[in-house]
Structure 1
Amino acid sequence: MKDKIQQNIIKGIVIVAVVLLTLGFQSLPNNNNKVTIKGTTLVKGDKFELIYNTFNFSFNYGEFAIQEDGSFNGEIFISEPVFGKARIINDRRTVKIFPLFIKPGSSIELNISENEVEYKGELKNENEFFKKFEIEVTMGTFKYYNSTNFDDFTILDALNEKNKAILSETQLDEEFKQYVASWLNYSYQSIKYRIIAKADVNNLDLPNEVINFITETSYDKFSSSAILGVQDWRSFLDNYFKVQNKYIKSNSIKLYDRFVQIENTFIKDRYALYLVNSLVNLRTGMDGTCRKQVESISSFVKYPQTKKSLDSLYSQLSKYESEYKHLLKGKPAPGFTFEDVNGKIVSLSDFKGKYVFLDVWNIYCGPCIAQIPYIKKYEEELKDENIAFIAVSCDRQKEKQKWKDFVIKKEMVGHQLIMDNGRDSDFLIDYNIKGFPTFIVIDPEGNMVDYKFLLPENKEFFPTLLNIIKSD
């Protein structure tokens, strides 16, 4: 019995030892991923830092102290090549910043002065090339930053091919060249998405080549960290998601399946924050649906900075849930009585027994006006269904004639009403309307169906509305 106990004790010790050794080896950084960076700086500073290429310096690859003699020496562990911005910090202020390319296993040496950065050691030629190349590419695209002209896509494609040809003729590290080629693609895609986002046209006005570009650009390509080398890559992602949501997907949560497949954890964090921000500020699903979606997405967040931003969005979500609780599905719709375009007094109660589609708008609202052709089209298609289309304008009473003239000129159909007190109307408070246009659906019993319905231009609008009408 004693021998058996001793054997079990020994076996237990061996198991614990194996576990501890395994954990110990797992916690050791992989030397193949180690990058050594050392050098000297004549620029006064207390810290050397390698950051993501962005105008927001919250995230970095690594940092280490600068000694009194200006020397610095440290190690960074990365799993793939990266473009970053090296910077010298003095008393929390950036005093020098420059591009730096590193890859796993490399050793970098730098001599930094006020006017020059001398690259030494491995990747010397690559970094010297990229320092000049980045400036040329950035300056070459800068003139298109404020463009809304889709014809510029052809010019950007030509610039991309020209720069790839220059790159291919160099005798530089092949892995570096492949990485720069990816960086070039992302850089020019960034400008294209900026153009599309700034143009902000409706779906029907997008040229086919632009639609093809949007469709062919997919999230799985974001597994490469080359995107983090793009000038202000955060704006690139913001424009990318904005365009994808508007023209390809009807709701940001439908991008979730692509999101979970993104391999780069930092990009996934950035995307998670974007999705949560989009969902919260859509102010839909305030019955708890939005919160469940937000919690699901938030579970993927890794970085403390992102979690801090999420805390703020959760507070905002709680505020919205409180503001919209009286407008949730099944709650009585706030009543109203306004004058129509012919001077007749019209009330919501007049339409009891019918579904009501409310369009809250004004004649100075561009996005409102853009929806008019769609509304006219769908009202015609639903003329035999049990639904009334009501447009309620928040234009001021002193502009009533302008509103009437506009309604007649645009041949607007349905019931056209104008609020009695413009933007100060209780209607806007009762329905918690924060922007225009806002679309609302009410059921035949006078109860809320949706306080923030889809835009008529959305491809899901008609089937969703028809399904509601046919649900009885």
Structure 2
Amino acid sequence: MKNHWKLGVLGVALLAASGAMAQAAVGKPAPAFTATDLAGKPVALSDFKGKFVVLEWTNPECPFVKKHYDSGNLPATQKDATAKGVVWLSIQTVPSADPKARTELQSWQATKHAAATASVIDDGSIGKAYRAATTPHMYIVDPKGQLIYAGAIDSKPTSNPADIAGATNYVNQALGEALAGKPVSQPVTKAYGCTVKYPT
């Protein structure tokens, strides 16, 4: 578990070192993107201007992702957010053009009762623009298109579901503050999880 976390942190450092990838920054405009969702429909960040948008990097095989889905924590967080009018986009970056990735993600999300507004398979371009390094890796974009949060889903960097109860859910916290018109008290946290694998 510690090795996964260290690899994720290393991934952040490596991505940050590349000028071509160092685009996303809290307090700056969120990088624009267009993708195709699991139903084959186009999805663009610009489609949701005027709304809060959560971006969630995911991977069904990652134990850190399983922690939050098997326990019901992430589906509950998604439902709570979307009930408040927040758009939730789940993104899986895949290292190769695997034609099964789309259907496998769709099937997995259905079994976990996921409640994302839309889910997309990323060829690496979105992940590199946001410097997504781990799964999960979370981002929040405000109605003006500014990135207001980037980092972990919560304060317990483990794959143990038992740790969720005692953790601070950073996404819920940031959304609650932002929806109330307050500044986000912790706009950047250290993401943890499995390393995002990019196409070579």
When the two structures are superposed, what TM-score results if normalisation uses the length of structure 2? Answer: 0.66
Residue deviations 1:5-52 (CA, integer Å, cap 9, x gap): xxxxxxxxxxxxxxxxxxxxxxxxxxxxxxxxxxxxxxxxxxxxxxxx
Match of 2:32 in 1: 335
Match of 2:121 among 412, 419, 423: 419
AA aligned opposite 1:449:
I
Residues 357 and 389, structure 1, Cα contact 8 Å, conserved in 2? yes
Structure 2 residues without counterparts, runs of 5 or longer: 156-163, 183-200
AA aligned opposite 1:398:
P
Distance 1:355 1:398, change over 3 A: same
3-state SS of paired residue (2:138): strand
Match of 2:141 among 439, 442, 454: 442
Match of 2:68 in 1: 371
Distance 1:345 1:380, change over 3 A: same
Distance 1:432 1:325, change over 3 A: closer
Match of 1:398 among 89, 94, 99: 99
When the two structures are superposed, what TM-score results if normalisation uses the length of structure 1? Answer: 0.30
AA aligned opposite 1:459:
T
Residues 29 and 146, structure 2, Cα contact 8 Å, conserved in 1? yes
Residue deviations 1:132-166 (CA, integer Å, cap 9, x gap): xxxxxxxxxxxxxxxxxxxxxxxxxxxxxxxxxxx
Residues 328 and 450, structure 1, Cα contact 8 Å, conserved in 2? no
3-state SS of paired residue (2:99): helix
Residues 78 and 114, structure 2, Cα contact 8 Å, conserved in 1? no
CA distance in 2, matches of 1:467, 1:282: 29
Residue deviations 1:368-403 (CA, integer Å, cap 9, x gap): 122222122123333442411111122444122222
Distance 1:433 1:380, change over 3 A: closer
CA distance in 2, matches of 1:362, 1:384: 24
RMSD: 3.3
AA aligned opposite 1:335:
A
Asked if 1:464 corresponds to 2:168, the answer is no
Residues 38 and 121, structure 2, Cα contact 8 Å, conserved in 1? no
What is the CA distance between 1:322 and its match in structure 2? 7.6
Structure having the higher helix fraction is: 1
CA distance in 2, matches of 1:365, 1:416: 20
3-state SS of paired residue (1:342): coil
Match of 1:409 in 2: 111
**Identity, % of aligned positions:** 21
CA distance in 2, matches of 1:391, 1:451: 15
CA distance in 1, matches of 2:117, 2:179: 19
CA distance in 1, matches of 2:153, 2:104: 28
Match of 2:197 in 1: none
Q: Which runs of 4+ in 1 moved over 4 A?
A: 280-283, 319-325
What is the CA distance between 1:352 and its match in structure 2? 0.7
Match of 1:387 in 2: 86
Match of 1:351 in 2: 48
3-state SS of paired residue (1:354): coil
Match of 1:360 in 2: 57
AA aligned opposite 2:138:
F
Number of aligned positions between the proteins: 162
AA aligned opposite 2:91:
V
